[in-house]
Amino acid sequence: MKQEAAALVGPIDGIADYGTSWRKSLGAKLEKLGIKTINPTDYFKPQGMDIHIGRQALEEARSSRNWSRLVEIMDGIWRFNEEIVTEATFLVASWSQRVSAGGTIREMQKAFEQGKPVYVIYDKDPRLINCHLLHLIYKNGRIFSSEKELIDFLTKRP
């Protein structure tokens, strides 16, 4: 039987640490359950860069209006994101309405198209989420108010 794998998706753009800390924390908990974690913030590693340097290149392209460079970088990121969604058994998204979540929405849509569950950690009232997104989530997944609630759910599954 193939090992379960969770893609840890969520906003990177506009987040102080690019979302690395919650992924590291949750990833350790999932791995204790025998669930492999797949992290989109690892995209730049094979290129010999960490997320901070890679995002700096992206921000420089955006601020200088070098749209062709931005598209080039984002094409690579999106190919990587598509691969991680395909590799994953399910997605875990950390959701916040305070930041842009364009890539997260694309990843959720890709998972939805592949019939994979999307589990969202959201500590507010789910009624605040757009109905299209609620459809993507509740069709095969669900919303949890905390990491602990998600871990409890995953632990109790048959």
Q: Residue 122: what pLDDT?
A: 93
DSSP 136-150: HHHHH-EEESSHHHH
- Digit-coded pLDDT (tens) for 1-22: 678 999 999 888 777 788 888 9
Give the Cα separation of 39 and 24 in Å (integer): 9
Token pair 């969604």 is at which residue? 85
- Taking the model in full, what pTM does it have? 0.86
Domains of the chain, CATH where assigned: 5-42+87-156 (3.40.50.450)
Instruction: Look at residue 97 and tell me whether its pLDDT is greater than 80.
Output: no
User: What pLDDT, on a 0 to 100 scale, did the predictor assign at position 98?
Assistant: 58
pLDDT score for 158: 73
Q: Which position has the token pair 């507010």?
A: 124
C-alpha 87/C-alpha 81 separation (Å) is 10
